Amino acid sequence: MKVVHPKFIVGIGGSAGALNAYKDLLDAMPPDTGMAFVIISHMNPTAHSQLALILQRHTIMSVIAAADAMVILKNHVYVIPPDADLTMDNYRFKVICPRSGGHKQIDLFFISLAKAMGELAVGIVLSGYDGDGTLGCKHIKANGGKTFAQDSSAEVNHMPLNAQAAGCIDFVLPLNKIPEKIKSLAAALKT
What's residue 109's pLDDT?
98
Band (3; pLDDT cuts 50, 70, 90): confident
Per-residue CA distances from 8 to 3, 29, 150, 154, 168 (Å): 15, 14, 19, 24, 19
Quick check: is 185 in a domain? no
Quick check: is 191 in a domain? no
Q: Give me the mean pLDDT over the 125-145 stretch.
A: 97
Q: Give me the mean pLDDT over the 88-114 stretch.
A: 94
Q: 46 exposed, middle or buried (CB, 10 Å; 0-12, 13-18, 19+)?
A: exposed
- Domain extent, residue 56, equals 9-170
The total of other beta-carbon atoms located within 10 Å of residue 168's CB is 22
Q: Is the dihedral of CA 114, 115, 119, 120 positive or negative?
A: negative
pTM of the model as a whole: 0.96
pLDDT reading at 191 higher than 60: no
For the segment 33-84, what is each residue's pLDDT rounded down to a tens digit?
999 999 999 887 777 789 999 999 999 999 999 999 999 999 999 999 989 9
Quick check: is 116 in a domain? yes
Quick check: is 106 in a domain? yes
Quick check: is 119 in a domain? yes
State the CATH number of the domain containing residue 24: 3.40.50.180
Domain total for the chain?
1
